[in-house]
């Protein structure tokens, strides 16, 4: 293993803390942990490949004189459609200013208006409170945090290392197994922090990067952790929709600055669906586009248009240089023509259930960022609250109480060399399932859902899960035992194991989303059902899953979820 800050001759297999993921949540967590602890950041690709690096619009904080955390709290709770945990939201908004101060102090170059930080207003925010760095805010934050991490002697980085499993001893998480440079190794730690981001790759249309395969939720669930509210997925209304182009996000801030939506005939339709038009909450605007397209076209791949021509040219140049550049790459001149857009899966409100300290239901296992369900977002996230959540909850880790065990644990021996595994004949099946999941999920658990279609999709995904379980490569991954490292002489074994591991995660996560969506017979926030189109007070509950049991949280009130849970099947 080649950790960034270690000479290659030193092989360490025991850290105080392992952080899985190098997005905003992972990097900031590592920086907030007490500096006497030895920390490993393990990330499955290069350092800067998570959603954080792609965040455009900005980060919310009620720091303007006319604003207040109370307004921010009310906006967040309103967007959350009855499922936010008020005490947790209060914690988020009241700690926003400190997190921003810390970023500014570290050198994040937010845009300024004179001496002051510039702020914009995004959909469903009552005040201008979104700080930004042009339209590449995530990049500005990640560059700064990465530089800090690289300069921290107590933090080691292992990139291109895919975490395969959590390592449990009794009911306690005490490390991970990971795949790196043709080896599977086991690394111990007193605490493991999941910061693996979202799961947008389960959908055919997503703004998320390739690494967003829901690994954290899948790993935690398979280890017995409680996962929560997985049916709530936010579909961003405006992703670039053009043949051979990625579903590149066109930030909400563009509509905040005055851009509007037009249909194919040039009609501005958003006000037909909500009195706030283009600035209605995300789920409302996404459904408006979806319904409008259903009404006006029958084409599956159809799109509407986002017209920026009412925004002054200098303003577009100043605020959205990256959008101008990306659109130009795909032949669109945003100054003279509207951008073809349609909704795409964007943000997963659900995740691994945690308390205010990031602690999951498994001792020793923490979750931070998009992979966690802290109670902040409820059924629908308020724009620009997610980067903030990553930072505010990572700060909580400064209080972590663990013993330092850094060094080499007894089991580090010479790697056992395994002959080339014969998985070649199975890869075709795995790839076929990998490619089929997103289309199935888009059509069955996308913007509009119904019992019949969900049940059919559950049957299909169950079939895939069973099929995968019979494959040798899946059995191999399932039966790995924490002992000596395993080395593969054939380089393609690593590639095959990686495809298999991510596909297993995707089918598990798809299964959990479908189960949760079929379970909730109402419409709320990011979960809309054709057959139950109304919000129901009977469903003022969280959906919890542990192993094969699906639960409702106890009676839910604005003051927070009752910890009592009822077993329902
Ligand atoms: C296009 C886009 C624009 C956005 N704009 C905004 C915005 O303006 N404001 C806002 O607040 N939010 C925005 N969001 C949402 C926000 O960016 C994310 O919610 C947030 O950045 C998530 O951070 P994270 O650290 O939890 O995950 P990520 O940044 O996604 O990082 C996850 C990390 O985990 C690693 N990883 C995953 N699985 C494994 C594994 N098995 N083993 C090892 N490593 C693993 C990944 O490689 C990656 O490094 C946007 C999201 C997207 C996609």
Q: Each residue of 141-194: pLDDT tens digit? A: 999 999 999 999 999 999 999 999 999 999 999 999 999 988 999 999 999 999
DSSP secondary structure of 292-333: HHHHH---TT--EEEE-TTS-HHHHHHH-HHHHHHHHHTT--
Mean pLDDT rounded to a whole number for the chain:
92
Distance CA 84, CA 77 (A): 6
- Residue 370 Cβ inside 6 Å of ligand 1? The answer reads yes
Mean of pLDDT values over 397-406: 85
347, burial (CB in 10 Å: exposed 0-12, middle 13-18, buried 19+)? buried
553: CA distance to ligand 1 center in Å? 27
- Residue 56 Cβ inside 6 Å of ligand 1? The answer reads yes
Compute φ and ψ for 531, nearest 5 degrees: -85, -15
Q: Retrieve residue 355's tokens.
A: 């308390």
Q: Which atom of ligand 1 is nearest to the CA of 196?
A: 34
Task: Report which of 561, 510, 190 is spatially closest to residue 356, judged by C-alpha positions.
Answer: 561
Enumerate the active-site residues: 282
- Residue-level pLDDT at 412: 53
Look at 19-28, 349-358, 422-431, 447-456 and tell me which has the smallest mean pLDDT: 422-431
CB within 8 Å of 258: residues ≥ 6 apart: 310, 311
For residue 492, name the pLDDT band (cuts at 50, 70, 90).
confident
Length of the chain: 569
- pLDDT: is 299 or 480 the higher one? 480
Residue nearest to atom 24 of ligand 1 (CA): 197
Question: How many Å separate Cα 409 from the centre of its chain?
Answer: 33
Task: Report which of 557, 564, 559, 195 is spatially closest to residue 358, judged by C-alpha positions.
Answer: 195
DSSP secondary structure of 221-234: HHTT--EE-TT-EE
For residue 321, name the pLDDT band (cuts at 50, 70, 90).
very high
- Residue-level pLDDT at 301: 57
Distance CA 253, CA 505 (A): 33
163: CA distance to ligand 1 center in Å? 16
Question: How many Å separate Cα 180 from the centre of its chain?
Answer: 23
Three-class HEC string of 432-495: HHHHHHHHHHHHHCCCCECHHHHHHHHHHHHHHHHHHHCCHHHHHHHCCCCCCCEECCCHHHHH
H or E segment and range at residue 27: helix 24-32
390: CA distance to ligand 1 center in Å? 9
Residue nearest to atom 20 of ligand 1 (CA): 52
- Residue-level pLDDT at 563: 40
187: CA distance to ligand 1 center in Å? 24
Predicted TM-score (pTM) of the model is 0.94
Mean of pLDDT values over 78-85: 94
Residue nearest to atom 6 of ligand 1 (CA): 55
Q: What is the CA radius of gyration of the chain?
A: 23
Question: Among residues of the chain, what percentage have pLDDT more than 70?
Answer: 92
Q: Which atom of ligand 1 is nearest to the CA of 208?
A: 53
List pLDDT tens digits, range 247-270.
Answer: 999 988 899 899 999 999 999 999
Which residue's entry shows tokens 């590592």?
Answer: 30
Question: Among residues of the chain, what percentage have pLDDT more than 90?
Answer: 81
Q: Kindly tell me if the per-residue pLDDT of 354 is higher than 50.
A: yes
């Amino acid at each position: 293993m080649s950790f960034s800050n270690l000479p290659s001759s030193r092989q360490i297999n025991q850290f105080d803390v392992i952080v899985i993921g190098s997005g905003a949540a992972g990097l900031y967590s590592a920086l907030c942990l007490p500096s006497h602890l030895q920390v490993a950041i393990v990330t499955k690709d290069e350092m800067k490949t998570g959603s954080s690096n792609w965040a455009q619009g900005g980060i919310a904080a009620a720091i303007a004189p006319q604003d207040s955390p109370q307004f921010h709290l009310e906006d967040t709770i309103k967007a959350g459609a009855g499922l936010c945990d008020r005490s947790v939201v209060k914690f988020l908004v009241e700690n926003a200013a400190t997190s921003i101060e810390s970023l500014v102090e570290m050198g994040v170059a937010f845009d300024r208006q004179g001496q002051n930080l510039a702020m914009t207003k995004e959909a469903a925010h009552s005040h201008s409170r979104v700080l930004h760095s042009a339209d590449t805010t995530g990049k500005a934050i990640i560059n700064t945090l990465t530089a800090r991490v690289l300069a921290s002697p107590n933090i080691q980085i292992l990139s291109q290392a895919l975490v395969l499993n959590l390592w449990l001893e009794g009911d306690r998480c005490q490390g991970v197994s990971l795949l790196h440079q043709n080896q599977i190794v086991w690394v111990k730690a007193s605490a493991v922090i999941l910061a693996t981001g979202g799961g947008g790759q389960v959908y055919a249309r997503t703004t998320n990067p390739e690494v967003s395969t829901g690994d954290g939720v899948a790993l935690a669930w398979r280890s017995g952790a409680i996962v929560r509210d997985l049916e709530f997925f936010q579909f961003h209304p405006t992703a670039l929709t053009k043949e051979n182009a990625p579903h590149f996000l066109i930030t909400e801030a563009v509509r905040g600055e005055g851009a509007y939506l037009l249909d194919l005939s040039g009609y501005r339709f958003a006000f037909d669906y909500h009195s706030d038009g283009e600035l209605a909450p995300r789920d409302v605007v996404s459904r408006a586009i979806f319904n409008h397209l259903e009404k006006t076209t029958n084409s599956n791949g159809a799109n509407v248009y986002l017209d920026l021509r009412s925004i002054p040219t200098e303003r577009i140049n100043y605020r959205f240089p990256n959008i101008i550049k990306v659109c130009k790459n795909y032949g669109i001149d945003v100054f003279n023509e509207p951008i073809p857009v349609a909704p795409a899966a964007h943000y997963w409100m659900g995740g691994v259930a945690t308390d205010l300290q990031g602690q999951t239901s498994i001792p020793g296992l923490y979750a931070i960022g998009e992979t966690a369900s802290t109670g902040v977002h409820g059924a629908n996230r308020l724009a620009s609250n997610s980067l903030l959540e990553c930072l505010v909850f990572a700060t909580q880790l400064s209080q972590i109480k663990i013993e330092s065990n850094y060094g080499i644990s007894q089991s580090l021996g010479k790697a056992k060399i395994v002959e080339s595994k014969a998985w070649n004949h199975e890869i075709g099946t795995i790839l076929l399932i990998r490619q089929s999941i997103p289309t199935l999920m888009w059509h069955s658990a996308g913007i509009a859902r119904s019992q019949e279609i969900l049940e059919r999709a559950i049957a299909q995904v169950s079939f895939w899960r069973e099929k995968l379980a019979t494959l040798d490569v899946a059995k191999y991954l399932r039966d790995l035992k924490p002992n000596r490292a395993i080395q593969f002489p054939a380089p393609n074994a690593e590639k095959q194991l990686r495809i298999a591991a991510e596909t297993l995660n995707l089918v598990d996560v798809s299964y959990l989303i479908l189960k949760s969506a079929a379970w909730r017979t109402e419409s709320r926030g990011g979960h809309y059902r054709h057959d139950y189109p109304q919000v129901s007070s009977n469903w003022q509950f969280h959906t919890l899953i542990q192993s094969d049991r699906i639960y409702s949280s106890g009676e839910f009130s604005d003051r927070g979820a009752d910890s009592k849970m009822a077993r329902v099947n």
